[in-house]
Amino acid sequence: MATVSALWRHPIKSHGREALTTVTLTKGQAMPWDRRWGVAHEAARLTDGTWGPCVNFSRGSKTAALMAINATCDEATGVVTLSHPDRPDLAFDPDQEQDRFLTWVRPLVDADRAQPARLFKLEGRGVTDTDYPSVSLLNLASNADLADKMGTADISALRWRCNLHLDGLEPWQEFDWIGKTLRIGTAELTVREPIKRCLATTANPKTGLRDLDTLAALNAHWDHQNFGIYAEVTTTGRITVGDSLQVL
């Protein structure tokens, strides 16, 4: 039986992850407080209030060190706390103190990359990589199969920055769900598409250093760079770690 083994959200897109034990998903929305903000860089072409693609944002595909950020978010106060092995912890309100964040994060960004310029937010939805509010799902059996093919003992599932980690499946079974609806806990999600991966997944989430060529391995063994799936919440409901998954 397939079950939820972990829940993760990323309050600031590409800048830290936070483990949850339970979450309420709302129809037509991303996970609450997931990618609530994005870090627009100095070359971004964004219109306030309008979704823009990931090329406009600072992210792990361009600066590997960002992958080692952890985050916690206090929903009551709006305060986000970030930690990184090479930086002091920072607790700040992204809506009120973006300059403090920019000062904190700039030493992590490669000098030859477009530098972080401001925090970007969309009212009523997360700054997801998809132009629709999405929730991302990861099959841990696929992760283990990739590790086996690469001859490594372990690939941290955190490399993939997914919201739901699923256990108890066959490897790559998730790709058979495109167009199908999943019931997890009391929520229902319709699977929209596979996730095409970028260089962010080559970086170690503990160190922020590129140490595994995940993209080359995916291309060599499966002739694509897809890992994980995007889904859209179609029925509001609650998901808790340990909940079972049913394909409808």
pLDDT per position as a tens digit, 81-117: 999 999 999 999 999 999 999 999 999 999 999 999 9
Q: How far is CA 136 from CA 38, 198, 227, in A?
A: 17, 15, 10
pTM of this prediction? 0.96
- The tokens for 174 are 């998730």
Tens of pLDDT, residues 190-232 = 999 999 999 999 999 999 999 999 999 999 999 999 999 999 9
Q: What is the pLDDT of residue 153?
A: 80
- What number does CATH give the domain 3-247? 2.40.33.20
Radius of gyration of the chain (CA): 17
pLDDT band (50, 70, 90) for residue 26: very high
Q: What is the pLDDT of residue 129?
A: 96
CB neighbours of residue 140 within 10 Å? 17
d(C-alpha 172, C-alpha 151), whole Å = 18
Mean pLDDT of 155-182: 98
Question: If DSSP states are collapsed to H, E and C, what string results for 150-187?
Answer: HCCCCCCHHHHCCCEEEECCCCCHHHHHCCCEEEECCE
pLDDT band (50, 70, 90) for residue 183: very high
pLDDT band (50, 70, 90) for residue 5: very high
d(C-alpha 43, C-alpha 182), whole Å = 39
d(C-alpha 128, C-alpha 87), whole Å = 26
d(C-alpha 229, C-alpha 178), whole Å = 8
